[in-house]
A = this chain, B = another copy of it.
Amino acid sequence: MTDHIAAHLRLPAGPVDLTAIETDAAPGFDGGKTEGKAALAGMGAELADLQERLWAERTVGSERRVLLVLQGMDTSGKGGVLRHTIGLVDPQGVRITSFKAPTEEEKQHDFLWRIEKGLPQAGYIGVFDRSHYEDVLIARVRNFADADELERRYDAINDFEGRLAAEGFSIIKCMLHISADEQKARLAERLGNPEKHWKYNPGDLDERSLWPAYRDAYEIALERTSTDTAPWHVVPSDKKWFRNLAVGQLLLDTLRGLDLQWPAADFDVAAETERLAEETPVQ
């Protein structure tokens, strides 16, 4: 049973202390790695069915769509979630947007400008690999924005997400939560494997040295931007299988909650059936 995972992960209102949230737990799930992988695979058929309904609804004018926001420190596994969880659904209905350091053009605009451009259209499951939250995380740690601007941004994010929810977006926000030790092990693994050297760059260690500042920035951002319409989930991510399973469950819960229906025909089914049966033979 995985139905209770979401309740464990949803962040309660109030101050956030990430050191009090375990990184290697599997809250709400009774099994281990083997059972966890099987449980994720077992979601595939229902996820695919619900996604196709979401996609189908768009053909009759529904504005509904899903936006999954993935945030986390380097090596926390955003890419792994994309591969293993999002990889379960039809790629036609998925739009993945990765946000890197902003370009010069992007810097000329408000921080939400490029985010707007990356939003999924109706019917899609959109996934943000990093997001507008970088603008209150690295921006805070690296002083890319001053205190007033950061204050403005928390409110702007809440306004923005509130507007999206009103427009038909279901927003799922996940902070992939790993320990500093786990990150160290993952970086060491990259350094030890020539096939993974391309994933590493020396700047990763500079960012790592700022771990406490990033934790502070996350705690503030999570507290300020976890709302009823777009709550944060802190996903214990030292166990890759639990991380993938938990995000899958959150996605499944969200799609189930939409009560998605197959659109009714907007044509005369009997007449079309007869027309097809009695057509002039096609050669």
Contacts and interface: CB of A to CB of B under 8 A. Distances in A.
Interface of A: 56, 59-60, 79, 82-83, 86-87, 90-92, 94, 96, 98, 129, 180, 184, 187-188, 191-192, 194-195, 197-202, 205, 208-209, 211-212, 262-265, 267, 269, 272-273, 275-277, 279-280, 282-283
A205 B82 contact: no
Given A198-B262, A200-B272, A209-B279, 4 more contacts: A91-B94, A188-B277, A205-B272, A205-B276
A43 to B, nearest CB: 15
20 contacts: A56-B199, A60-B198, A82-B90, A83-B90, A86-B91, A87-B87, A87-B90, A92-B96, A180-B282, A188-B276, A191-B269, A191-B276, A194-B262, A194-B264, A198-B263, A200-B267, A202-B267, A205-B276, A209-B280, A211-B283
Chain A contact residues: helix, strand, loop or mixed? helix
A188 B276 CA distance: 7
A-B pairs with the 7 shortest C-beta distances? A197-B265, A180-B282, A56-B198, A198-B263, A211-B282, A83-B90, A195-B262
Contacts of A208: 279, 282
A282 B192 CA distance: 21
Nearest to A203: B267
Given A191-B273, A194-B262, A283 B180 contact: yes
